[in-house]
Amino acid sequence: MTQTPLEAAQKYETRCDTIYESFMNGQNKQFMEQIKDYKVDVGFLINFVKNYYGEVQSNEVARRYAVLAQAQLEIPRW
C-alpha cells in the first residue's frame, strides 16, 4: 500500500511540530527559544502551521511571535 507524502510525514514529529506544541501549551519562552535554537525561519513555521493546522492557527502563531519579539526588543539592556 502506497502512502501520500502527507501520510508519510504525519508519522514523524518535526521541529515545527515541537515548536507548535510549545505555542499551544502557552510556553512562550520555550516557543521563542526553540525558534532560535532550531534555526527555523518564522515564515516557514507560519506556512507549516497553516498547511497542517489551519489558517486561524497560523495567524495566532504569527501574532504571538510578533508580540513576543517586540517585547524582547523593548527589554532594557544595561
d(CA 40, CA 45): 7
The closest of 60, 69, 77 to 35, measured between CA atoms, is 69
Of the candidates 37, 39, 26, the residue with the CA atom closest to the CA atom of residue 67: 26
pLDDT band at 28 (very low <50, low <70, confident <90, very high): very high
Contact 49, 21 (CB under 8 A): no
Span 8-29, average pLDDT: 85
pLDDT for the residue 54: 92
Residue 12 grid coordinates: 514523524
Computed over every residue of the chain, the mean pLDDT equals 86
Residue 46: CA count within 13 A, CB half-sphere: 12
User: Quick one: pLDDT at residue 5?
Assistant: 63
> Does the pLDDT at position 10 exceed 80?
no
Q: Give 50-72 pLDDT, tens digit per residue.
A: 998 999 999 999 999 999 999 88
Mean pLDDT for 2-21 is 76
